[in-house]
Copies of this chain bind each other. A is one copy, B any other.
Amino acid sequence: MSVIDAQGETHRDQSSAAYNQLLERLGALSDLNSALALLEWDQETKMPEEGASSRSTAYATLSSIAHDLHTSKETLGLLEAAEREQAGADPDSDQAALLREARLDFESSTKLPADFIAEYARIQAGAQRVWVKARSGSNFDLFKPDLERIFAMARRKAEYLGYEEHPYDALLNEFEPGITTALLRGILADLKDRLVPLLAKIKKSRVVIEDKILRKTYSEDKQLAFCKELLEKMGVDSGRSRLDAAAHAFTAPISSPFDVRVTTRCIRDYLNSGVFGSIHEGGHALFELGVDRKFARTPLAQIKSMGLHESQSLLWENMIGRSREFWTYQFPLLQQRFPNQLLHERLETFYCAINKVNSSCIRLEADEVTYCLHIILRFELEVDLIEGTIKVADLPRFWNDRFEAMFGVRPSSDAEGVLQDVHWSGGAIGYFPAYDLGKIISAQLLAQAKIEIPNLMDSIASGNYAPLREWLATNVHQYGRKYSTAQLVRRITGREITCDDFISYLEEKYGELYSLSL
């Protein structure tokens, strides 16, 4: 049996010869992915403008080299030999998990024929161009033919990928391995049934929350300096990470867990973007930085579950970062950074502002309460379209009807409705549910953490994030991709994925904020 030590080095013995050869091959693949991640990070943060065209060529070349290496006969041969060699391994061992994941990666890289991939890419490129125009003119008819092609391709993709129960399962599994449409339907229907009445009560509340405190003038440089301190405090190790400004917030796992970088977008007259973007990406980074070092350069360090990843970022951004306790400690520090803007403001004003509920038709403007409803709408429509229960031509009507039923308002145009998201034109059918899974799981994990860590929120209020970070590292981060999301939730909480904790969290928090009788 081979042992992977803390440096990610493998100590070889005869009984693991094939396994070790596979590890070498997967390590080389991981190195190529590391270079690709750097090419991408650099492009968004440091690259001179005119480097763009040659950068995209270099990116395409390395991607193609990585794809060829991954899907080659030699890789398959090494995989099969390792599988034979390790056939008797304990299914819960690292070796068994690694082979399982390597096999899944290989399958998902080889199931789609090259000409299908090329055709889909061409259709997506066309669709994205048309979508930009269609959205700006709020003209759904212009986008309709492209969207029809996209969903037709998505259905074909599902057939190539294969599924047991529902074609949408195959699309979901690209972003959330192991989850099924049936399972999600149950969870999200439950969530919807409980969120819609909560939202209705909030809308009826006489409490009016002002958020102009967030819309004063805050210098971007000072915001970034504050965010750096905040991440440091969260435990995002500056010896293995860095924060940069970029046009959008993202996490770049250059080489997990040794080099994981985050970005944020600071906006001069809107404090939320930079601050909560940083905390969100900090949550992602803590996950990547927390993966056991022995998994470095293996598939087990490449986290595939978007829902689990989002659970980490959302736990920090919303459940911690938007809590009264968090700002009890951080607000005085923010006031020190921005005395002219904040010295005479109250913590409570700030706390209410960052938790204001609105019923915007736009997903990207949504809050903690409404965000999930935006996603449920998209999930239901995607499933119906894949099933063929509804037609693309009827989308605007279904979108607006269902939105109105949940939110009590109707989008004034398709630009504010069915045309608002980039996902469909990009072919990312099946991606949306990960956002809701992330919210649900974050609440379920935090509820468990509160049971296991005495006075957790008191430590947050005193600026001590170590107990929570360590709990997450021990229970979630260290395993990387070893367990499926559902398995992990079960291991940690003893329960299946459920929205109970998320609803309780929302009812408690927003019940108080909006003086609701629940």
Give bound CA distance, A364 to B258, whole Å.
35
How far does the alpha carbon of A42 sit from the alpha carbon of B255 in the complex, in Å? 13
User: Roughly how many angstroms separate A183 CA and B473 CA in the complex, as a whole number?
Assistant: 65
How far, in angstroms, from A48 to B55 measured CA to CA in the complex?
A: 23
Closest CB in chain B relative to A494 CB, distance in Å: 36
Q: A31 contacts B255, CB within 8 Å?
A: no
Among A105-113, A161-169, A237-245, A274-282, the stretch in contact with B: A237-245
CB of A48 within 8 A of CB of B240, answer yes
CB proximity to B under 8 Å, residues A9-63 = 27-28, 31-32, 34-35, 38-39, 42, 46-51, 53-55, 57-58, 61-62
Among B31, B57, B239, B297, contact of A48 (Cβ-Cβ < 8 Å): B239
- Inter-chain contact A259/B31, CB cutoff 8 Å: no
Q: Which residues of B contact A47 (CB under 8 A)?
A: 259
* CA–CA, A46 and B31, complex, Å: 18
Q: Does A7 sit at the interface, judged by CB under 8 A? A: yes
Hey, which chain B residues are within 8 Å of A32, CB to CB?
61-62, 65
Contact of A50 among B8, B42, B240 (CB under 8 A): B240
Pairwise interchain contact A242-B48, C-beta atoms closer than 8 A: yes
A296 at the interface (CB under 8 A from B): yes
Tell yes or no: A254 within 8 A of B by CB: yes
Q: What residues of chain B lie closer than 8 Å to A48, measured between beta carbons?
A: 238-242, 258-259, 261
Partner pick for A54 among B28, B242, B258, CB 8 A cutoff: B258
Copies in the complex: 2
In the docked arrangement, what's the CA distance between A129 and B303, Å?
39
Most buried by B among A35, A42, A238: A35
Cβ distance A33 to chain B, nearest Cβ, rounded Å: 9
- Is the CB–CB distance between B7 and A51 below 8 Å? no
A241 CB contacts on chain B under 8 angstroms: 48
Determine the chain B residues whose CB is within 8 A of the CB of A55 once the complex forms: 255, 259
Taking a contact as CB atoms under 8 Å apart, the answer to whether B53 and A242 are in contact is: no
> Nearest-CB distance from A286 to chain B (Å)?
14
> Which residues from chain B contact A242 at a C-beta distance below 8 Å?
46, 48
Question: What residue in chain B is nearest A260 (Cβ atoms)?
Answer: B48
Considering the chains assembled together, what is the distance between the CA atoms of A65 and B240 in angstroms? 27
Q: Which residues of B contact A240 (CB under 8 A)?
A: 48-51
Cα(A58)–Cα(B242), bound, Å: 19
State in angstroms the CA–CA spacing of A14 and B326 once bound together.
68
Q: Name A31's contact: one of B38, B57, B296 (CB within 8 Å).
A: B57
Residue contacts A-B, CB under 8 angstroms, 7 given: A32-B61, A38-B38, A38-B42, A48-B238, A50-B240, A51-B240, A51-B254
With A32-B61, A34-B58, A39-B35 already in contact, the answer to whether A50 and B297 are too (CB < 8 A) is no
> What is the bound-complex CA distance between A238 and B38, given in angstroms?
21
Known: A39-B35, A42-B38, A65-B65. A58 touches B239 (CB 8 A): no
Q: In the complex, what distance in Å separates the CA atom of A53 from the CA atom of B261?
A: 16
Chain B neighbourhood of A39, CB < 8 A = 35, 38
**Residue in B31, B50, B239, B259 whose CB lies within 8 Å of A62:** B31
Query: Are B239's CB and A49's CB within 8 A?
Result: yes
Name 6 extra pairs, CB < 8 A, besides A31-B62, A38-B39, A50-B240.
A34-B58, A38-B38, A38-B42, A48-B258, A54-B255, A57-B297
